[in-house]
A and B are shown apart, each in its own frame.
Chain A
């Protein structure tokens, strides 16, 4: 379970003499086990916010508190350890390593954590869960886009994180595959109680979340619960 507190979180970039306010004083809480969709136009600050929640970017100002720990006080090494143990990432372009097979890709995050007990079994179980137990020895390049994204989701889960961050996870897959991925994310959120924050343009993904945060010009312009989708 992960609890995130963003306090006046700000990220400014200098481009020549111009200051770009990618994120401009965002304050919000994301509680344990939430399923949050972050939406907004391109350039609204969604990806910057995701990178900061993933501890890949340090804020220009403000605070990010993860499970009570002020991450601004942590060094690069501690941030890396926190990422490895608490946070899973899923990217639009999957980012699977071509030199590794499917199982090895899922096991990759195990390299960088101390506790690897039962890691291989967890990886195999996760691949079974995402329906790829018959593809463990295949190279990533031998899989379809949807299959690669499912491998990426399994990889994001292998260290049993309490938070999964997804950046446009359905952006490169077809509708049917996108639906399968959404179903998988809901399962992770509901069964595993994993906090999920997904940045998306895909309305189908956004409406499946329990909460929707809308960004515009680096600011939160809407933060509301999503009405449950009526059963057809």
Chain B
């Protein structure tokens, strides 16, 4: 009974308290609208720019995961052709700490396509052993269909973006590489049957078309100059070798494997994965820094409008402040009320700005041309940051006006005209 009574008493106090804040905000509609608009624009900028940064970071995170899980082995520096004898795979497998090594081939899926500024990875044909997926840092999963059948040829598994671009279904055929509009007469491509479509990963595999090694070797042969094409046995060469340590091996452990490969296997160059990983991370940090700083600048400018509005509110409500002090409000009460009002303004701006930003990013992603990577990625982290920053900005912007209000002399305030 007492609890119910206390609850009623609390509600009786709480409800008008919040209502007063909202009514105060609505008392000066135009001013409140302009102030909240300042926050809205800032949060909108933070949301959209942040979503671009998050999208880019997701791409880079994929790179970090992938390149942080294996050692990339290629031709040594200075070698004119970036090709390796496939026998190097066996040599590398004998190096201490190496658990598995796979040859790999990569080709542009759309040769001759005009390079454009993009936050995605260009469409690429990857020829690799399907068993490598068990070792890779990014595990691809199937939205439809299945993995390429072992020992088969002419099968392809498409990433989500490339599949959307070419609008293929399981069982459809796709010619790879895609013939350019201005292809020379000797351009060769091959029909592949789509046997699998991958789930979205938000990173490189979305733009990949996976084929078998034998098919990759055929494409490699097609890519060689006619003069030497028949003199090289492509089954004996590879473009690169992906080397894996035991499951759960650390980045430094992989670095040590890279060092041992360089020391023990001639004619190859193993790159320390930590070097690749750090380059991905620094690229991401710079991009995130630039986009976030630009958006935060807009938001801070919006915050200044809150400061101005709250100072005006204090000036207009001097008598109210005096009255509240007369009926028992302490300095802390007055400060708290004005801070809460500023925080509500920040929160309202944050919610509206984030909402508009979210709608824009969703529409922009939904209307992105087929095959083009989406530009925005809304994450929980970004959502919490955008809303949290708007609320915190409102609160911080309210400190000085609230302090001025709280310090008003009640007698002077009560008789203010």
A residues adjacent to B (C-beta < 8 A): 51, 54, 56-57, 76-77, 80-81, 83-85, 88-89, 91, 93, 95, 97-100, 104, 107-113, 116-120, 155, 159
A108→B410 CA distance, assembly (Å):
16
Q: Beta-carbon contacts of B1-37 to A below 8 Å, as 1s and 0s? A: 0000110111011001101100110010000000000
Which 6 A-B pairs have CB atoms at the shortest separation, nearest pair first? Answer: A84-B328, A112-B328, A120-B12, A99-B23, A109-B327, A104-B16
Asked whether B9 lies within 8 Å of A89 as measured between CB atoms, the reply is no
The verdict on B323 contacting chain A, using a C-beta distance below 8 Å, is yes
23 A-B residue pairs with Cβ-Cβ distance under 8 Å, sorted by A, are A51-B411, A56-B410, A57-B411, A80-B325, A80-B330, A91-B414, A97-B20, A97-B320, A98-B27, A99-B20, A100-B16, A107-B12, A107-B13, A107-B16, A108-B324, A110-B12, A110-B13, A112-B330, A112-B333, A113-B328, A116-B12, A116-B13, A118-B9
What's the nearest-Cβ distance from chain A to residue B305, in Å?
A: 21
Q: Is B113 at the interface (CB under 8 A from chain A)?
A: no
A104 to B324, CA, bound (A): 13
Q: Are A111 and B323 in contact (CB under 8 A)?
A: no
Contact B9 A119 (CB under 8 A): yes
Q: Which residues of A contact B322 (CB under 8 A)?
A: 95
**Using an 8 Å CB-CB cutoff, how does the interface string of B400-411 with A read, 1 for contact, 0 for none?**
000000000011
Chain B residues positioned under 8 Å from A104 (CB to CB): 16, 19-20
Most buried by B among A77, A81, A108, A120: A108
Q: Contact check, B330 vs A77: say whether CB atoms are below 8 A apart.
A: yes
B328–A83 touching, CB < 8 Å: yes
**Docked-complex contact A95 and B12, CB < 8 angstroms:** no
CB contacts (< 8 Å) of B9 on chain A: these are 116-120
B329 within 8 A of A: yes
What is the CA–CA distance of A104 and B14 in the complex, to the nearest angstrom? 11
In the complex, what residue of chain A is closest to B17 when comparing beta carbons? A111
In whole angstroms, what is the CA distance A118 to B2 when docked? 11
CA distance A208 to B121 in the complex (A): 90
**Within the complex, what minimum Cβ distance (angstroms) separates B302 from chain A?**
24
Instruction: List, in ascending order, chain A residues with CB within 8 A of B19's CB.
Output: 100, 104
* Bound-state Cα–Cα, A118 to B10, Å: 10
Q: Smallest CB–CB gap between A80 and chain B, Å? A: 4
Q: Which residues of A contact B332 (CB under 8 A)?
A: 77
Interface extent on B, as a size class? Answer: 20 to 34
Complex: how many Å from CA A118 to CA B20? 21
Contact B323 A97 (CB under 8 A): yes
In the complex, what's the smallest C-beta–C-beta distance from B212 to chain A, in angstroms?
Answer: 73
- What residues on B are CB-neighbors of A110 within 8 Å? 12-13
Could you tell me the distance in whole angstroms from the C-beta of A60 to the nearest C-beta in chain B? 14
B interface majority secondary structure: helix
- Residue-by-residue, is B317-345 near A (CB-CB < 8 Å gives 1, otherwise 0)? 00110111111111111000000000000
Contact residues in A for B12 (Cβ distance below 8 Å): 107, 110, 116, 119-120
CB pair A95–B414 under 8 Å, yes or no, is yes
A171 CA to B319 CA, complexed, in Å: 18
Contact B331 A99 (CB under 8 A): no
List residues of chain A with CB within 8 A of the CB of B320: 95, 97
Instruction: Contacts A110-B13, A112-B330 known; list 19 others, CB within 8 Å.
Output: A51-B411, A54-B326, A77-B332, A80-B325, A80-B329, A84-B329, A85-B328, A88-B327, A89-B323, A95-B319, A95-B320, A97-B20, A100-B20, A108-B327, A112-B328, A116-B12, A119-B9, A120-B9, A120-B12
Which residues, 288 to 336 on B, are CB-close (under 8 Å) to A?
Answer: 319-320, 322-333
Task: Give chain A residues whose Cβ lies under 8 Å from the Cβ of B10.
Answer: 116
Complex formed: what's the CA distance from A108 to B23 in Å? 15
Across the interface, name the chain A residue whose C-beta is closest to B328. A84
Minimum CB–CB distance for B32 against chain A, Å: 13
Bound CA span A110–B328, Å: 9
Nearest-neighbour CB distance to chain A for B258, whole angstroms, equals: 67
B329 touches A111 (CB 8 A): yes
B326 near A111 with CB under 8 A, answer no
Scan residues 189-217 of chain B and give those whose CB is less than 8 A from a CB of chain A: none
Which residues of chain A come closer than 8 Å to B24, judged between CB atoms? Answer: 99
A81-B6 contact in complex given A51-B411, A91-B414, C-beta closer than 8 Å: no
For A116, list chain B residues within 8 Å (CB). 9-10, 12-13
User: Which residues on the B side are within 8 Å of A85 (C-beta)?
Assistant: 328
Question: Which residues of B sit under 8 angstroms from A99, Cβ to Cβ?
Answer: 20, 23-24, 27
Check if A119 sits within 8 Å of B13, measured CB to CB.
yes
By a CB distance below 8 angstroms, the chain B residues around A100 are 16, 19-20, 23
Q: Kindly list chain A residues whose C-beta atoms are within 8 Å of the C-beta of B16.
A: 100, 104, 107-108
List chain A residues, Cβ under 8 A from B325: 56, 80, 83
CA distance A97 to B17 in the complex (A): 12
- Distance to closest chain A CB from B383 (angstroms): 32
Distance (whole angstroms) from the CB of A32 to the closest CB of chain B: 21
Contact present for A112 and B5 (CB under 8 Å) = no
